[in-house]
Structure 1
Amino acid sequence: MRKLSVFNNVSLEGYFTDGQGDMSWAHKADPEWLEFTRSNAQGGGTMIFGRVTYDLMIQYWPTPLAAQNNAAVAERMNNLSKIVFSRTLDEATWNNTRLIKDDLVGQVRQLKNKPGDDLVIIGSGTIVSQLTEAKLIDDYKIVVVPVMLGSGRTLFEGVSGTPTLKRTLVRGFENGNVYLCYETA
């Protein structure tokens, strides 16, 4: 069975976007953090996005600026397999992207049961909350960024249960970020 992971940045209050939907606050560049993101991008798998995150990603990663700023991550982002869940998109134009328009929970359940690389959700808070509620997420990789936004969206809006999680890793960075890994128990 394929593993489904979440990888997201959150503020100290637990918001993954600010009140205007912006996530630029989460990108503090320094040599240690850049090396971590480069090594993290070397993994395989299929990335899963909702429409909003997909729109943000496609505006940056296929550009010359992304290749200039972080060539290794840009190469991986552009070449890995991607799935975007959206009821409103008519087509997915980013390289190696498949569009799925309905039944998020059922489709992800099927994907997990098929052979293949693991799956990772990046951003996409609505998808994270729905798949958490459906108990389909195997682990959460959360980067706590030392910033307070005052308002925003959490990854777990609407989740009614209280999943039991087991901490598997904690790593601090000089820029103040803390990487937390939890698997579902």
Structure 2
Amino acid sequence: MKTQGTLSIFLFLSLDGFYKGENEDISWHSHGAEESKFSEENLNSGNTLLFGKRTFLMMESFWTSKEAFQLFPKIAEQMKNAKKLVLSHSEVETTWNHTETLKPNWIEQIMQLKKEGTSLTILGSGEVVRQCCELQLLDEYLLMIDPIAIGSGQSLFGGLKSPKLFPLKSTRTFTNGSVLLKYGN
């Protein structure tokens, strides 16, 4: 009998709670050797990656570049080989391997994938995270808090219709001062 799949998120936040700064800026995120190793381990999980269209296009732009393969060769290769699903109102034109656009009934598709045993991870995509949080579709939250305040930007949970309580499952501290908080149901 197949095990139920899960829907998790992984994204980084500034100390003052923003997942991106003004003008989509994420240059403040610290990603050293230890964080790269963590990313490699997580990509080895075999989870299907789930993106909103804007995040997908930004990720595709970087992870298919020569720079990505030079700086983070293992992660770039893993990203290339991972199954990727994109939430978009229109078809996404891409040459990135293993990419599929979900239909407008994406909620039912995600629930069906989970029922079939597929585990999915949302990378970035704050608006998708908020929608899934409101719909109570998320099973696990992995939030990497960078030790930097950026002053303004987009709050991950800004605009929630009601408060949400997240039970803490574990923490991990990185040598650069970043902290990974793992919450789950």
The residue that corresponds to 2:171 in the other structure is: 170
Q: Which runs of 5+ in 2 are unaligned?
A: none
The CA deviation at 1:159 is 1.8
Q: Which runs of 5+ in 1 are unaligned?
A: none
- Detail structure 1 runs of 4+ shifted over 4 Å in the superposition: none
Q: 2:28 aligns with which of 25, 30, 33?
A: 25
Q: Distance between the aligned counterparts of 1:36 and 1:160, measured in 2?
A: 33
- The answer to whether the Cα contact below 8 Å between 2:19 and 2:153 also exists between their aligned partners in 1 is yes
Structure 2 residue 184 is matched with structure 1 residue 183: yes
1:97-129 CA-to-partner distances (Å, cap 9, x unmatched) read 00124133233222222233x100000011000
Identity of aligned residues (%): 35
Q: Distance between the aligned counterparts of 1:101 and 1:154, measured in 2?
A: 27
Instruction: Give the partner amino acid of 1:24.
Output: S
Q: Distance between the aligned counterparts of 1:83 and 1:14, measured in 2?
A: 26
Q: 1:47 aligns with which of 43, 46, 49?
A: 49
- The answer to whether the Cα contact below 8 Å between 2:140 and 2:182 also exists between their aligned partners in 1 is yes
The residue that corresponds to 2:12 in the other structure is: 9
Larger deviation, residues 3-12 vs 93-102:
93-102
Q: How many residues align?
A: 182
Q: Distance between the aligned counterparts of 1:109 and 1:160, measured in 2?
A: 22
CA RMSD, aligned part only? 1.5
TM-score by length of 2: 0.91
1:55-77 CA-to-partner distances (Å, cap 9, x unmatched) read 11110111221111111111111
